[in-house]
Amino acid sequence: MITTNQFKTGLTLLIEGEVYSIVEYEHVKPGKGSAFVRTKLRNLRTQAVIERTYRAGEKFEEAFIEEKRLNFLYRSGDLFYFMDEETYEQKAIAKEDLKNTVNFIKENTPVTVAYFENRIISVNPPNFVELKVEYTEPGLKGDTAKATYKPARLETGYILQVPLFIENGDIIKVDTRTGEYVARIG
């Protein structure tokens, strides 16, 4: 059991049958009344962030999360096949368990899969990936008075906003946490 005195960022707790990770916490000792702890918690299954307040000394069950690194191999329908880097065992993960990770993975992309009680609770791609632009409208010459963007479809099917100088076939760097363009690689 974990008490509120042992809270730290990143700690995983089991609250009301759901697994939460502590995003922020603050111990508050008001002049009058008893101390309490304000927290921001991220539900690891839904990624929703909630705010909760707990009395000082309240106890919680720690959730033990197992993380494995897997490499994406191929897709077949709504199943994505990955290989465990340690055991070379193949695992199939359903598209709904991957959520928006499907927008950023191509063959040989490593991902980190978090398990709780042998259930997948999250699949996280690297923070930055390099993807090829499959299609984007050509930019207009001379239209550079201000930072303007245009939509581009990547090799994974994901559509994002890119600067006007990006062309079909360019390789770009994408931040998987925000889904935004970072830089042109080549």
Alpha helices in the chain (DSSP H): 95-98
Q: For residue 87, give Cα distances in angstroms to 69, 83, 97, 172.
A: 11, 8, 22, 32
pLDDT at residue 1 in the model: 87
CATH assignment of 67-124? 2.40.50.140
pLDDT at residue 121 in the model: 84
pLDDT at residue 82 in the model: 93
Q: Does domain 128-184 have CATH number 3.65.10.10?
A: no
pLDDT at residue 151 in the model: 93
pLDDT at residue 71 in the model: 94
CA-based R_g, the chain, Å: 21
CATH 2.30.30.30 domain residues, the chain: 2-62
Distance CA 168, CA 95 (A): 27
101: alpha, beta or left? (left if phi > 0; alpha if psi -120 to 50): alpha
pLDDT at residue 141 in the model: 64
CATH 2.40.50.140 domain residues, the chain: 67-124, 128-184
Q: Which of the residues in the chain have pLDDT under 70?
A: 140-146
Q: What are phi and psi of 98, to 5 degrees?
A: -80, -25
CATH assignment of 2-62? 2.30.30.30
pLDDT at residue 120 in the model: 85
Structure tokens at 179: 């889904």
Are 24 and 9 contacting, i.e. CB atoms less than 8 angstroms apart?
yes
